[in-house]
Structure 1
């Protein structure tokens, strides 16, 4: 057995341990479930409300951090 053949035989890439058709079936099933959930109006309303709240909170946190970086003494004066 050649060195290249030995390396090929001992490859431990986890993606290669699962046959391609099985990976494709799992991926297709996951995608179908995602499509089903995204098309559900109740799920969309709940998820989008949470997403909007998270975006607002992250924006507020980023703004506060930038403000502290630009005006480091402002917190001491406010206290």
Structure 2
């Protein structure tokens, strides 16, 4: 049973998320020949305030606060 896990930040429409889920499912089905009923896709949305990279949250990066968390 293939399991695909995707984590991304919030902010996409339900339609975009549904399209992503469907495309991932189809890609697994095509690429490895997995039966459709056996494919699982889990999508997690994370607030940019809860995603840290290089000591700076994604929300801070978006706001232009590149040095937060240093010093």
TM-score, length of structure 1 as denominator length? 0.29
Query: Max radius of gyration: which structure?
Result: 1
Task: For CA contacts below 8 A with separation 6 or more, give which structure has more relative contact order.
Answer: 2
Larger relative strand fraction: 2
**TM-score, length basis structure 2:** 0.32
